[in-house]
Structure 1
């Protein structure tokens, strides 16, 4: 036995012992737990195939032998496993009863909602397509011929079953698209490198400025004969002046929106403004701690009472206030706090910036020189926000959608002008007198009578919004609201692109809903567009989430835009495996026949599982050229990293929404 075989054997043994019962055997319940299968019929069918001689349970040696054979087997043996899985009576053919039983269980397992007519149609569609000799059954040869018509499903079924059994996958061959070196180099030079140069050049200038200020302050105090601790404290203080002034710039949403529509937009990292603000906060914390530690060391070395040094001088007292205020702001803005559904902790603690700046102006004699321009711009920004926030609107309609999404239609103020993809801040005094929350506008600018917002219930405020409207009748939902905005986002750049890829995950589709509506209305009105082609990808974990914008997507499909717009839907909560492969084929057959996808009701057929972004972008690069495509993303951070990597590999520009 080779070392690799021994490792596989050990992994299979460990998996079995982790899930086996007290009798050291695995029944349907343990098989279901191992494979993440809730449906007893599916777990029982798998147990039947793994252990043909026993319907009740399987022992370790039998399990180990069956799984290792599957892992090491060629594709045809794995496909034979799928066939036997559906052959409930083990007669070597799949009849109507065999198919109906497993298909119904698979539909329930994957939480797909089908009508009784659609459910019955799955088995009929599979038999009509695969039963070539018209004997009312599908034999193994006909089963393989059917899979040949659906290569993507066959590829998934033919892969190693090791991931299914929570083992490291063996002998998996990843097909990587071959890209010519000249085309890759061209895409990098013209699509990615300019943005990397701008970003890293600004970063180097920032680091150089901090280093220069730190060393200059140390040198000045060293020349004056100050001890080393004071030199370090003054160096850190000089850097605090710079970073304390800079930290306001990334949160001036109004000025950032103006910059997005100026020639400077290409030179500045506007898409990363939130990340820059966070980074500056971490830098401020570091220099604050260094500054404080150096002064404390100096106090101890002088032998003066610590309490008198801290509380008996204006510098000491203001320094304590600065450090306490900043530590509170920093600690309550960390990721665990912001994701704990206690937004109010972050919001109200950040109001301490007023205390911090007041104390900084008292503590540091030269800080006003650094902060004058940023504070002036910030005060102007607040004045504009105050003016805009005085615009009162009302909720015209509140519609409750699946997955605790609330669709609000607001009366649109006359002076409210925005671009597709913009967001606004909303306050509903009936819910909270103080809280403002940012939401992307999902309606189009061309819809002059209302503003649309789709709000997912993720935090206390958004969940309360959904629950409140669920409790009250429609006639009582016309509540007053306050708005300020709009503010620009990276999605604004779509209309400057030639080829655009829009990737929305879950409720992250909202900016693209506004953009797609606007594109449809502009094309219908005959307006010229620089965009030549748009590819839209929408990923949802559950079927019900597609209901949020099904009406919009259905309209797009019927407006003759297929030459301009390609739609792709992915149901990521369903994976194609041995239990769902035939279900997917049956749903596709019915969808093609009726020209209506069973998952969404659209003409576009929904794919199961996660997209292969490397393959998708490689195909687009061959079609349009490396570096010719701009990718716009709105969704979770982890998925953003995957899409960004695949896009950059093809020289595509990548833009991500940030709030």
Structure 2
């Protein structure tokens, strides 16, 4: 058997090669992609916060109101962009385009999580400061919160007070509303006051800094929209929808924390759907809807493509245990569903749960293209319930729903000829489609190193036919590095099961990542690294590859 070291020239084991400018760029390519967008968001966010904070209407304006307004303007920006990183179809389109190389798409979920943290901070600041502001007004806190005073009167007492010439005008307005807001009295008593104090600012041509130009108050019908109080008033709707949104946001945020996602993933998915309720409440709460028009349009297109156009229901599937930890699911492929390298699908099994969707990598094009084959590691509640449904002796027939395909970070791999694929256990799955692409294209030239850390040797036997076919392709310089973490005894029989002369190493233990990447680096290639596995393995391997100046992409969907 030929090992990796025998194919490389002699040199020190700690060799890393010169750190050139290009290597430095590749090492920090992820950071260089993120920084411009992070800087842009910080700049726009700071500007938005200042627009709201820089407000001084009258004597009732204080630090509480300014902080509340500043955080409100920041919230508009966060709400406009936080959904974009998790739109699977949109990200798939970008990954397959030239623009995808310039965007930090691999950090999309990380961006979404941090935007979620920032959203809850801004929402808490916004809500708490408005409540403190209401407590500083002359009217009782309860009256301000429940809008027991008509919207027009409240505005004249508070943020518009300095533009009202006399307190008597507020009294006249309050008496007119209390008497039923009759139209004949509007023409004689109210319209002159509005003309003098309000309509000079609130009109469609106003340039006043704090005026709302789309709030004309020159006609009786316009004014009627602001004379309600209590539950029918505009302010009550804004206050109550805001408190409801804050409560729901806290629930969604708490259910999105890492512990819940790991141990109670189904609860995370269920509670995350409260986002739709948040969207409806936002329509009641936000007074300037132009901020959400574009994100809403993108969201509608995304939902149509993902939930309607690329959704296939009632597909026939057969489940079979590979071993105690892995289930193989074979699905009759819908004709419209394309098998693309580096892509994944979402799967729902109604017999297990009517609402849970889970993502699984496609294993690529096989001889029988009528089938989708998914390898599922049984580590969570949903997968363990699936395992319990499957008997040891024979396959179990199931009905499944499928969405996709969607591009994962591995979808970028075909653009390169030199790969370093690092997998932990069933993490080999997203790379199988890439390996099968090599098998289908024997003229493809390049270098391939695959490092696979597994516990059960049965997984290696499962892939033995594919490994041997790949090793037989002369055009691809193919090297396999297999590490068995469990003590399975003598490995000689396992090695003999493969063809002689194959560039394949099978050994006990875990990789020495610095040693391994240094050995690969001595070959002179600059591979693109793709990693899929547990967090510890991904971090160690990713750090070692970055030290070599190699670009790294991690599978995370």
What is the TM-score with the length of structure 2 in the denominator?
A: 0.76
Contact 1:398 1:469 in 2 (8 A): yes
| Kept in 2: contact 1:214–1:235 (CA 8 A) | yes
> Unmatched 5+ residue regions in structure 1?
1-149, 153-174, 575-579
- Given that 1:187 and 1:650 are in contact with CA atoms closer than 8 Å, whether structure 2 keeps it comes out as no
- Structure-2 residue corresponding to 1:565: 478
State the match for 2:466 in structure 1. Answer: 552
Q: 1:432 aligns with which of 348, 353, 362?
A: 353
**In the superposition, relative to structure 1, how do residues 411 and 444 fare at CA in structure 2: closer, same or farther (>3 Å)?**
same
CA distance in 2, matches of 1:445, 1:363: 53
Q: 1:227 aligns with which of 36, 59, 62?
A: 62
Residue in 1 aligned with 2:217?
A: none
Give the match for residue 450 of structure 2. 536
* Structure 1 counterpart of 2:318, from 360, 372, 397: 397
2:92 to 257, 260, 264: 257
Alignment of 1:36-185 (within 5 A): 177-179=14-16, 183-185=18-20
Query: Is 1:453 the equivalent of 2:374?
Result: yes
Distance 1:176 1:302, change over 3 A: farther
Of structures 1 and 2, the one scoring higher in RCO (CA 8 A, sep 6+) is 2
Quote the offset at 1:385 in angstroms.
2.1
Question: Cα gap change, 1:460/1:191 in structure 2, threshold over 3 Å: closer, same or farther?
Answer: same
CA distance in 2, matches of 1:446, 1:248: 39
Deviations 1:488-519 (A, max 9, x none): 01101111113110001011110112211221
CA shift at 1:394, angstroms? 3.4
Question: 1:646 is matched with which residue?
Answer: 544
Match of 2:331 among 399, 403, 410: 410
CA distance in 2, matches of 1:446, 1:269: 35
Name the residue aligned to 1:517: 436
List runs of 5+ in structure 2 lacking aligned partners. 6-11, 148-235
Of the three residues 335, 354, 365, the one matched with 1:444 is 365
Identify the range of structure 1 (221-230 vs 643-652) with the bigger mean alpha-carbon deviation: 221-230
- Which residue does the alignment assign to 2:398? 479
Structure whose residues are more often helix by fraction: 1
| Paired residues for 1:237-636 under 5 Å | 237-302=72-137, 304-312=139-147, 313-340=236-263, 342-366=264-288, 368-388=289-309, 390-392=311-313, 394-444=315-365, 447-470=368-391, 474=395, 477-523=396-442, 526=443, 529=444, 532-557=446-471, 559-561=472-474, 563-574=476-487, 587-588=491-492, 594=496, 596=498, 604-625=504-525, 628-636=526-534
Q: How many angstroms does 1:650 deviate by? A: 0.9
Shift of 1:193: 4.2
Is 606-615 or 427-436 further displaced after alignment?
427-436
Give the superposed CA RMSD.
2.6
How far is the alpha carbon of 1:355 from its aligned partner?
Answer: 1.1
Q: Is the 8 A contact 1:388 1:483 kept in 2?
A: no
Count of residue correspondences? 457
CA distance in 2, matches of 1:568, 1:472: 32
Could you tell me how far apart the structure 2 residues matched to 1:495 and 1:229 are?
A: 55
Contact 1:402/1:547 (8 A) holds in 2: no
Q: Is the Cα–Cα contact under 8 Å of residues 395 and 408 in structure 1 kept in the other structure?
A: no
In 2, Cα distance between equivalents of 1:622 and 1:382: 48
CA distance in 1, matches of 2:91, 2:58: 42
- Aligned residue for 2:56, secondary structure, equals helix
* 1:480–1:194 distance in 2 versus 1, CA, 3 Å: closer
Judge which range, 253-262 or 425-434, deviates more: 425-434
CA distance, structure 2, for counterparts of residue 307 and residue 541 of structure 1: 63
Cα separation, 1, equivalents of 2:52 and 2:513: 50
| DSSP 3-state at the match of 2:413 | helix
For each residue in 1:383-423, what CA deviation from the matched residue of structure 2 results, as whole angstroms up to 9, or x when unmatched? 12232455235345322011331101111111111311211
Which residue of structure 1 lines up, in the alignment, with residue 154 of structure 2?
none
C-alpha contact 1:420 1:445 (8 A) present in aligned 2: no
